Chain A
Amino acid sequence: MIEWLTLDPLNGIATTIGFFISLIIGRYLRLWRERNMRGKMTDPRIKILISFLLITAITVMKHWYLPIAIAILCIAFAAKLRIIRDYGKKLIFPLVLALFIFIAQGFTYGVNAIHLGIISVYSEGLNYGFLIFSRVFASASILLLLAITTSENELLESMRYFRVPKTLLEISSFMVRYIKTFSSEGKQLKLAQESRCGFPKNAGFTKKMRNVASLLGALITRAFARSEEVYRAMLSRGWKPELRYSINTQPLDKRDLILGIMLSSGILVLLGLDRLV
């Protein structure tokens, strides 16, 4: 049972050394984090950059083990943050598409057929389909954690740092500001229509669609009217199309920078591990 000990001790030695060195590094990392990062949130720019790098790394991974491990870690993190229900709900949509691809690949792609009674599936298709599924699971998990821990304003500020064009940024700022307003206005309009016997449950498709269309049409005409008011408010505050904003944003904190470099190196290690497996 333990032939490896006498015949091939190299694996055991490598595992032992690897484990204990990682144990020491892990402990020091924890101590460093507690000393330097206590009560301090990670810079959203670092979060966005690292998330993007990690998602890109997952996209190029050739095996499903690491993406699944990352997804499980994200689930554990979501459970720790007590957001598992919201997280689970948002995860459904990407997983449905991934499942569709898994099934399509499993039934059609490959040459090595596995007969399961009246149906046949292909091993190559199943492998590739599951790889795609695991990648989607991990990427969506990371993205949802990023979304839950980063506000829209932080995103916009980060976009400024990443030199997104001014007009794009201005439109984005307006959209972020008014999406919530119009969303709540739409809900109010719907409530008002319902209280006046609109949206009856037994209405047919045409009637329902007319109701929804009148509501959303009213929302669009309101947006037009409001845009005039917003424009006047902008002019009264001295806005001009040729106005240039300062692109000087707050520089990155040294600790955030170190964290970013460490996490980027970790992503590279993950990629290396994926290639070695």
Chain B
Amino acid sequence: MYAGVLFAPLLLLLAVTGSVYLFKSEIESVLYQEYYQVDPQKEKLAVSEQLEEVKRLYPEAIVTKYRPGEDNERSSEVTISTNEESLTLFIDPYTGKSVGELNNEDRIMDKIEEIHGELMAGTLGDRMVELAACWAIVLLVTGFFLWFPKKPKGMGGVLFPRLKKGGKILRRDLHAVPAFWVSGGLLFLILTGLPWSGLWGANFQAITTNTGEGYPPSVWIGEAPVSGVETQDIAEVPWAAETLDVPISSLQGLVPQTLDQVVKIAEQTGIYPTYSIIIPQEPEGVYTLSVFPPKAQDEATIHIDQYSGAVLADYRYDNYGIIGKVVAWGITLHKGTQFGLANQLASLIICLGVILTAISGVYLWWKRKPKKGMGGPTAPALFKTKMFLWLMIGLGILFPLVGLSILVVWLFDWLIIQRIPVVKRWFNV
């Protein structure tokens, strides 16, 4: 009960932002149309020439990412970082001119994602979202457990609302019926969203990767391989040297692969065309080709030796372990991209259902709440069945944040509520 009241607003927020985020690519293609679209001409310029425009505009910036356009009418994107800012420049690959730039912090869809993932409050927000999501699972599971053993009195009020039994019943059913239908969908969305979360997700990913059945390392967590080169074999760049004060021999050595070469290697790998190239910033770093397209089967993470151009690791969907594949599908289904419009609409319906349920739930609580106190049920019933207790402990261990919050609530109960009569009365325990 209390967990429900506490986390309903959070779930509501997740459902609202999630509904919008489902249509990210549609919204962005309208918002940024002028940045995305270019007039196709005969020949594209070399990447190095496109980068010259970037260097001209931002001589001090570090180029961190390059995304070739996936078709003839799409601009290239160059991501740069200047002092603490990350900008994306859209370059017309035919003229080499910039057609626009975006501060990555100003992207509205990124903001929405940030609310959805961490309430715009960094790690704390991430943990709160995770806590709400885990508690939602606990509520769904325990709710099902509490509801199930009772003898069913017909499906009215569960599968469909009872329209002719008066306003009170109808109000109740308008909460309970969508809730039943939405529960399954919500459980699915939460379970597929959890692998993203900072604590549970990171641990889950580490455990599954360690078993050999998850994502290969570096796709989600873990380090990329390094370029196999010794420092003395790399050609030094006489950056600030006014005169040649570095020995000639140190200027001799390997030079990094050019982006043009990397694009060529990428094309040979047959990677999905919306890929990005993440540019190494350290001498031992690698070029990473990364693509997470709408369909899970097209995903790829490829690491290329910065100097030799050798493909050091080439992880496709087929190379994921079985859990990795399931999680990958879960993520594309969660984002509504796997099956296109049908997927988006199905997820939207679940989100709307969650919104309806949360609002009607709060309304119901408000209607029957006594003038004084929260109106929650008395607690001991919960702890009477051993089965239920073990279920809670199991869930508390499976979702450590839930376990932790139970401990905190118990401490709060033990130290404060049980000792101060007024508070005790208000909470109805």
Q: Is B a genuine binding partner of A?
A: no
Chain B residues with CB under 8 Å of chain A are: none
- Which A residues have a C-beta under 8 Å from some C-beta of B? none
